[in-house]
Amino acid sequence: MDSNKGIVATSEILAAFQSKIEAKTAQVGIIGLGYVGLPLALLFTHNGFAVLGFDLDLSKVATLQRGESYIRHISGTVIAEQIQQKRLMATTDFSQLRRMDAILICVPTPLDRHREPDLSFVRNTVEVIASHLRRGQLVVLESTTYPGTTEEVVLPILERSGLRCPISPYRTNGLEITAGEKQEADFLLAFSPEREDPGNKQFQTQQVPKILGGVNASSARAAQTLYACAFERTQLVSSARAAEMTKILENTYRCVNIALVNELKLLCLRMGIDIWEVIEAAKTKPFGFTAFYPGPGLGGHCIPIDPFYLTWKAREYEFPTRFIELAGEINSAMPEHVVASVVNAMNQRKQCLQDARVLVLGIAYKKDIDDARESPSLRIMELLEAGGARVDYHDPYFPRLPKMRKYDFDLESVEPTPEALAEYDVVVIATDHSSFDYPAIVKHARLVIDTRNATHAVQEHREKIVRC
């Protein structure tokens, strides 16, 4: 750990950092090699930087060192090429952080069992960084979190090293810093929210504008210099807090609108109206309407979690966020609605859930990806088992269900052959993977609960389908 032998002018640190970035001699370290960190690492290697990825997961590091991929939509060939060229390396040795010029943090920010922010991954990571921090480094937090985390949590931990990075206001026009106080610091610190959308083939990582906010002007400039080398567009905001709020707004917007359409779906079911038909009709309006779709609940690493980070932080300011909390309640209750629909449909056929055989189709939180984080399918399976059902699943992206933070089913994927489908009392379509043969599913299953409108084009045996 460096002792503090006098503060170096930030202008000198910034100039030295920018010089390394422009020459592409800067060493980029990325902590957390998951759905956010690995694509980011590859993006920087493709743009000429040497990247060292850090992760506690030995299997991930070993897989990358072999030139293989553990994320389905990332090609092993691409990884192998970068490994062979020594552009990309992976390690569990966090002492190597001292060699890095830029350190990007891409670790999980889940909720605890009380639905409050769990920043343990961030805190633990930053404590490790602090133990190896040296002058001139840029540290960027990318993990989604509540406004104030970078300044109130990350900065104090880093400054335990004896090095300093003062918070200082600055102004920006979005493209460049227009005004800022002169400050002196030992290192640079910024927040830049990840905006990954796994499986989205329309937008690649580099095409999504990168939001950047620093704890001071020099930190923001340094972050912009770095990310501008890899992203097609960067957008500066006036603080790390503004950047943190930007990501929370994006995901809260989606959460609230999905909750609205989920609530309308429940109303339409009672009124005998097809919500999917209504949405398609509303989409014809060329202005003032954006389509959102109902489902069995929210999944993924952002939308089910991020709004609760904001509501938690709002309590510090004695500000009630009733609108956001209501949206969270509606979305969180959707798996219960699905299971209630299963029970009602079985009751109408003079069957009960106890000892019924149920096949859940789709474990991923959305179609055509291998990501089950916060998937509503898992909660649906848990509720079905609690009701006495014998539950199996099928998902081509999950041959076996791994042990997760909240679930441990110890199940293997069942192939949905005609014979297998006919053995189940109920088949629940929880994720609408493109690979599923929906006409065959409906033909051979006894009863189909469709939570995604996946069977809308199926013409035969529609009496077996219950949309919920």
Catalytic residue IDs: 302
Distance between CA atoms of residues 292 and 431, nearest Å? 16
Amino acid letter for position 82: Q
Distance between CA atoms of residues 20 and 103, nearest Å? 14
Amino acid letter for position 425: D
Q: How far is CA 26 from CA 102, 137, 447, in A?
A: 7, 10, 59
Name the 3-class secondary structure at 463.
Answer: helix
Q: How far is CA 249 from CA 64, 220, 246, 333, 442, in A?
A: 34, 21, 5, 22, 40
| Environment class of 38 (CB within 10 Å of its CB; exposed 0-12, middle 13-18, buried 19+) | buried
Distance between CA atoms of residues 330 and 449, nearest Å? 20
Which residue carries 């920087």 as its tokens? 44
Distance between CA atoms of residues 191 and 71, nearest Å? 25
| Environment class of 173 (CB within 10 Å of its CB; exposed 0-12, middle 13-18, buried 19+) | exposed
Distance between CA atoms of residues 279 and 393, nearest Å? 30
Amino acid letter for position 445: A
Distance between CA atoms of residues 424 and 9, nearest Å? 70
- Strands 210-214 and 234-236: what pairing? parallel
Residue 180: CB partners within 8 Å, gap ≥ 6? 168, 169, 170, 171, 216, 217, 218
What number of CA atoms fall less than 13 Å from residue 1's CA on the CB side?
Answer: 13
Which helix (H) or strand (E) element contains residue 171?
strand 170-172
Which residue carries 């905006």 as its tokens? 195
